[in-house]
């Protein structure tokens, strides 16, 4: 499902999200303050609410890195559920079919922007 956009809000410079890296930030999402992350995979930046589908824990609650050792999957540090970085879909059997909540983001002119009608940068 395509997410409608609103006026872009700057999140951070592109350089703050290196390949297989992450950038943490806060958003107002449907009226509530939530933690969010940007990750870069194969050069493309993706945004998600930072909450595992297994339990309401941040993906990086146990350690700071967000990708598994292979660099092919996002991995929750609590119980190691893996996700497709480009879709947020859980790949582990226990949560198969569930998805991280994606945020619509864009990269323009060496900056990353939030452009999701459901979310606004938390001041």
- Residues of this chain that interact with ligand FES (CB under 6 A) are 52, 54-55, 57, 76, 78-79, 81
Place of tokens 């609103």: 6
In whole angstroms, how close is the CB of 70 to ligand FES at the nearest point? Answer: 17
Residue 77 exposure: Cα atoms within 13 Å on the Cβ side: 11
d(CA 73, CA 43) in angstroms, rounded, equals 14
Tokens of 114: 């939030």
Q: CB-wise, 74 or 115, nearer to ligand FES?
A: 74
Give least dist CB 91 to ligand FES, A: 12
Task: Indicate the residue among 92 and 106 with the shorter CB distance to ligand FES.
Answer: 92
């Amino acid at each position: 499902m395509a997410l409608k956009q609103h006026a872009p809000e700057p999140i951070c410079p592109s350089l703050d999200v290196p390949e297989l890296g992450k950038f943490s930030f806060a958003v107002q999402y449907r009226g509530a303050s939530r933690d969010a992350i940007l990750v870069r995979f194969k050069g493309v930046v993706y945004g998600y609410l930072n909450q595992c589908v297994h339990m309401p824990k941040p993906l990086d609650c146990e350690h700071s890195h967000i990708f598994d050792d292979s660099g092919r999957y996002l991995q929750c540090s609590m119980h190691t559920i893996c996700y497709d970085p480009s879709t947020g879909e859980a790949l582990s059997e226990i949560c198969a079919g569930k998805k991280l909540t994606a945020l619509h983001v864009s990269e323009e002119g060496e900056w990353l922007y939030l452009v999701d009608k459901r979310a606004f940068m938390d001041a």
